[in-house]
Chains A and B, each alone.
Chain A
């Protein structure tokens, strides 16, 4: 028998048949009896005091059922950083002050969307304009306007990471270089915009269907904000049209729909428009990097000093985490013996900058991988070689921060080296750029202050052998329902179609922190595996007695066959054992329970995945335009549970991270985002998409279920850096600010030519 019967196989997604037939229901599709439609009025000003809001005219419009403002709230402030009250700074419905263009000030519920929208025009808000600040460098000056009361110099969060003796180490370096980079904003552009249907009934219980990455966070935050008991709030995540980091904070659709529904005892649905999605939800954090890097002549990197200022926007959101992680991942994937990071997050009067796929790591990887190539060139060392020299290895301790167990970075470097050699001599103006990366498999930090395990699962085996898997994990498209079902089936020894997953419904599922930080496969996977093992043990106890095995651990189940491990031919049908066990226990249901919280795993994550990417571009030197020809990625994510899922994550990351390097940006004027539509926000389409190739490297992660770790966000890290390095290889110009647009490339080419003359 092969080692695994389910995992590692190319299977159909468990949500596949519904999704390819259009029958999958998203929050966007939900219509309830007696449902109203809500719309949100948002500030047109970046910074202003609310003097008065007159809703009387709007309330008189026929079809309008309720109008709410900050006065209808409990006046509480929240953020996902719940443990730190000073970082809970977002009211959602502003009572006294607006801090960015898009800040919500009122919400309307009406019989249809058009009426609700018409009512918004009838709400009169009197604003007293305040001076605003948009640039984080300006925001931290004495004379800058204060955005949040009591926050000096608008510094929202600072982070410091240090190990070794950086100053002393720089003295030992043969070579030091210092560079500056700017990493731009990026929009998530989930195909399903943020939306929620909230229904508060006469039983005083609130049910919310919403497009979310964490039903549990939303449940807890809504309860806090509305003064309800957590248990009276049920959050259900139907099929969800993408998240990418934008959907694990409480959003205006969820909050306003709930508030309106509580007032009316009627269901209220709010769907953000695409324009609201661009202007009034969160975005990737723009970062200004200054990096000093020192090395010996042979390329050994001795010291790195990183200073980062991030444009935080109006509220904290998950920006504090992005600030920490960008500092931590600035050391990745290399063994810096001496390292110092100082990060500052400044409040600005712009849309809040927060989490997006990769958190702060796509930024730090672009910076780090650009700079290591510069260093390699200066020292006359091959880019692959310098990465080999300094790259992390298994069982490596990041001083005071993390313990890395499995690590396949060097095998990935070998594969990419081979790939580049295979490509051979390239035509003029073509180049291949390399970028190495690593990422975490879920976060250890508990800023949410949850008393629950980080992940949990329940397995229930029914009389016919069908297994109900209950988990709080959120499938937002990344495929966790499939991966977790596969893990459950493998552990229990049954087939994938024996599993029926019930996920992300707080009414019936145990809490899970949700789908962010690439945590579901490892953390929820461990919980599911434990729950399945618990249920299996109950079956095996019965089977052991029946078969006369020495102890229960001598037995196992595989392919629906309950057997002695050493004598697999001796066994019984899984279905018979299920029936017998239930009957033999007086009909008591077989329930397995599992949970997972990482312990003693450092500050960041229980496990890390690694990879190396090579991007090939061809530059048109007269226009600066370049074509993405091929992106080849060697990566390792431990044992591959769901190979089709990994392919999708990887290729999709090339589209998203390639876009970050190539074309995606959010230009602003005085705090106003200038391209808030898919027509104006440029996304890679099929004709622009490069060829993608995947080179798998085998590793085994002791901490992961069956040896698995993340394969989601990490893949977003390398591409911008690889593109930047490829452009440099092709035509010898380096762009230090994202995105690398044709215009910037051409300008650099001209400057280079002028310097040469």
Chain B
């Protein structure tokens, strides 16, 4: 039997009827068309599906959508303000912190959650912050440099 799911995604409230078995990433991608969030493994291992739920980074392939009922979800589509990119996005561009781009949305969301919680992480803490995300292209170091740039204040958010 379908159940009601009320939650907000990127600030927009939604009301949906879904099968209880639907996982969060499927609701975001298939029901809301927010395909920025990817699926890479379905075993909670790769982090490509990372979104921020109630302020925390989670793997949306491993969360039942109904567990997000009443919650707030932020996806990669909610990072930029209109055509003004988020500092992390600018830093990723400058540092070439992505190649194929398939892990990038998840990587950005893990990075955002990390910096929201700790705006001044050490290099080791940055590594920990993105350790749940696999990138098969970059070898991570450019991503670490991008985050370091943001931490150093090289990318200011426009107010």
Q: Answer whether A and B touch in the complex at a CB cut-off of 8 Å.
A: yes
Contact check: which of A13, A189, A687 meets B96 at CB < 8 Å? A13
Determine the chain B residues whose CB is within 8 A of the CB of A686 once the complex forms.
126-128, 130-131, 133, 140, 143-144
A683-B98 in contact (CB<8A) = no
Kindly list chain A residues whose C-beta atoms are within 8 Å of the C-beta of B48.
Answer: 191
Q: Of A191, A645, A687, which one neighbours B127 at CB under 8 angstroms?
A: A687
Those of B114-151 within 8 Å (CB) of chain A = 126-128, 130-131, 133-144
- Closest Cβ of chain B to A653, distance in Å, is 7
Is chain B's interface secondary structure helix, strand, loop, or mixed overall?
A: loop
Interface residues of A in 639-654 (CB under 8 A from B): 644-645, 647-648, 650-654
A19/B139 in contact, CB under 8 A? no
**Would you call A706 an interface residue if the criterion is a C-beta within 8 Å of the partner chain's C-beta atoms?**
no
| Chain B window 35-66, contacts with chain A (Cβ cutoff 8 Å), 1 for yes, 0 for no | 11111111111101000000000000000000
Identify which of B29, B36, B133, B141 contacts A689 (C-beta below 8 A): B141
Q: What are the residues of chain A within 8 A of B41 when measuring CB–CB?
A: 274, 677-679
Q: Interface readout for B87-111 with A: 1 if CB under 8 Å, 0 if not?
A: 0010011111011111111001000
Residues A644 and B96 in contact in the complex (CB < 8 Å), given A191-B38, A692-B139: yes
Which residue of chain A has its CB nearest to the CB of B108? A20
Instruction: Evaluate whether A24 and B101 lie within 8 angstroms (CB atoms) in the complex, with A244-B136, A274-B41, A678-B43 already known.
Output: yes
Which applies to chain A's interface (DSSP): helix, strand, loop or mixed?
A: loop
Q: How far is the CB of A116 from chain B (nearest CB, A)?
A: 15
Query: Given A19-B104, A26-B102, A652-B138 in contact, is the A647-B96 Cβ separation under 8 Å?
Result: yes
Closest to A241 in B: B102
Q: Which of B36, B40, B99, B140 contacts A478 (CB 8 A)?
A: B99
Nearest A residue to B76 via CB reads: A22
Contact call B85/A21, Cβ cutoff below 8 A: yes
Chain B residues with CB under 8 A of A23: 36, 77
Which one of B89, B103, B137 has the highest number of Cβ atoms from chain A below 10 Å of its Cβ? B137
Interface residues on B, range: 35 or more
Residues of B within 8 A of A650 (CB): 139
The docked-state distance in angstroms from the alpha carbon of A679 to that of B132 is 11
**Docked complex Cα distance between A15 and B137 (Å):** 15
Complex Cα gap A691–B123 (Å):
12
- Among A20, A25, A244, A274, point to the contact of B98 (Cβ < 8 A): A20
- A-B contact count, CB below 8 Å? 170
Report the bound CA distance from A34 to B79 in whole Å: 32
CB–CB B36/A21 < 8 A: yes
A21-B77, A189-B136 given; A29·B40 CB < 8 A: no
Given A191-B100, A274-B41, A476-B100, A678–B79 Cβ distance below 8 Å? Answer: no
In angstroms, Cα B140 to Cα A655, docked, is: 8
**A190 interfacial contact with B, CB 8 Å:** yes
Other-chain residue from A13, A188, A678 in contact with B40 (beta carbon distance below 8 A): A678
Is A63 at the interface (CB under 8 A from chain B)? Answer: no
CB within 8 Å for A21 and B140 given contacts A240-B100, A273-B42, A678-B134: no
The reply on B80 being an interface residue by CB < 8 A is yes
Alpha-carbon distance between A333 and B35 when the two chains are bound, in angstroms = 45
A90 at interface (Cβ–Cβ under 8 A)? Answer: no
**A650–B134 CA distance with the chains assembled, in angstroms:** 17
CA distance A153 to B143 in the complex (A): 50
- CA A476 to CA B100, docked complex, whole Å: 6
The reply to whether B102 and A274 form a contact with Cβ atoms under 8 Å apart is no
- Does residue A358 face the partner (Cβ distance < 8 Å to B)? no
Knowing A20-B89, A477-B137, A647-B142, say if A677 contacts B102 (CB, 8 Å).
no
Cα(A13)–Cα(B130), bound, Å: 22
Q: How far is the CB of B44 from chain A (nearest CB, A)?
A: 8
A197 to B39, CA, bound (A): 17
Q: Are B42 and A274 touching (Cβ within 8 A)?
A: yes
Known: A20-B104, A192-B100. A689 touches B139 (CB 8 A): yes
Instruction: Report if A140 contacts B (CB, 8 A).
Output: no
CB distance from A451 to the nearest CB of B (A): 31
A477/B101 in contact, CB under 8 A: yes
Q: Which residues of B contact A188 (CB under 8 A)?
A: 136
What residues of chain A lie closer than 8 Å to B134, measured between beta carbons? 189, 191, 678, 683, 685
Instruction: Report whether A239 and B43 are in contact in the complex, using a CB–CB cutoff of 8 Å.
Output: no
Answer whether residue A17 sits at the interface, using C-beta atoms and an 8 A cutoff. Answer: yes
Q: Which of these, A17, A645, A651, A687, contacts B141 with CB under 8 Å?
A: A651
Type the 1/0 row for A3-31, where 1 means its CB is closer than 8 Å to any CB of B. 00000000011011111111111101101
Q: Is there a chain B Cβ closer than 8 Å to A638's Cβ?
A: no
A102 within 8 A of B: no
Most chain A CB neighbours (cut-off 10 Å) among B37, B99, B103: B99
Whether A648 contacts B43 in the complex (CB less than 8 A), given A24-B101, A477-B99, comes out as no
Pick the residue among B45, B94, B127 that contacts A679 (CB under 8 A): B45
Q: How far is the CB of A89 from chain B (nearest CB, A)?
A: 29
Q: Which residues of A contact B139 (CB under 8 A)?
A: 648, 650-656, 689, 692
When chains A and B are docked, how far (Å) is the Cα of A477 from the Cα of B77?
21
Q: Which of B38, B75, B140 contacts A28 (CB 8 A)?
A: B38
**A242/B131 contact (C-beta < 8 A), A678-B43, A678-B45 known:** no
* Contact flags A184-218 to B (C-beta < 8 A → 1, else 0): 00001111110000000000000000000000000
The reply to whether B136 and A191 form a contact with Cβ atoms under 8 Å apart is yes
- In the bound complex, residues from chain A placing their C-beta under 8 Å from that of B80 are 21
Closest CB-CB distance, A441 to chain B, in whole Å? Answer: 19
Distance between Cα atoms of A479 and B98 in the complex (Å):
10
What is the CA–CA distance of A244 and B139 in the complex, to the nearest angstrom?
14
Chain A residue nearest in CB terms to B92: A20
Task: Output the nearest chain B residue to A25 by Cβ-Cβ distance.
Answer: B35
A687 touching B131 by the CB < 8 A rule? Answer: yes
Nearest residue in B to A30 (C-beta to C-beta)? Answer: B35
Decide if A648 touches B131 in the complex (CB within 8 Å): no
Which residue on A lies nearest to B94, using beta carbons? A12
Q: How far is the CA of A25 from the CA of B29 in the complex (A)?
A: 12
**Closest chain A residue, CB of each to CB of B21:** A114
Chain B residues with CB under 8 Å of A691's CB are 141
B142 partner residues in chain A, CB cutoff 8 A: 647-648, 651
Would you list which residues of chain A between 671 and 708 have a CB under 8 Å from chain B? Answer: 677-679, 683, 685-687, 689, 691-692
CB < 8 Å: which of A191, A645, A652, A687 contacts B102?
A191
B32 to chain A, nearest CB (A): 12
**Which of B35, B76, B95, B141 is the most central at the interface, judged by chain A CB atoms within 10 Å of its CB?**
B141
- Our pick among B75, B77, B101 for the contact of A19 (Cβ within 8 Å) is B101
Nearest-Cβ distance from residue A657 to partner chain B, whole angstroms:
10
For A652, the chain B residues whose CB sits under 8 A away are: 99, 135-139
**Which residues from chain B contact A12 at a C-beta distance below 8 Å?**
93-94
Give min CB distance, B123 to chain A, whole Å. Answer: 10
A267 to chain B, nearest CB (A): 16
The distance in angstroms between the C-alpha atoms of A13 and B95, with both chains bound, is 10
Q: How far is the CA of A686 from the CA of B79 in the complex (A)?
A: 23
Closest Cβ of chain A to B138, distance in Å, is 5
Q: Is the CB of A15 within 8 A of B101?
A: yes
Q: Which residues of B contact A685 (CB under 8 A)?
A: 131, 134, 140
Would you call B96 and A192 a contact (CB within 8 A)? no
| A677-B89 contact, Cβ under 8 Å, with A22-B36, A477-B99, A648-B99 | no
List 13 A-B pairs, Cβ < 8 Å.
Answer: A20-B93, A20-B108, A21-B76, A21-B80, A22-B35, A23-B77, A191-B48, A477-B99, A679-B43, A686-B131, A687-B127, A687-B128, A689-B139
- Chain A residues near B (Cβ < 8 Å): 12-13, 15-26, 28-29, 31, 188-193, 239-242, 244, 273-274, 476-479, 644-645, 647-648, 650-656, 677-679, 683, 685-687, 689, 691-692
Which 6 pairs show the lowest CB-CB distances between chains A and B?
Answer: A22-B36, A477-B100, A241-B102, A19-B101, A651-B139, A22-B76
Known: A242-B102, A689-B139. 12 other contacts (CB 8 A): A13-B93, A16-B92, A29-B29, A241-B38, A476-B100, A477-B102, A648-B139, A652-B135, A655-B139, A677-B41, A686-B126, A692-B139
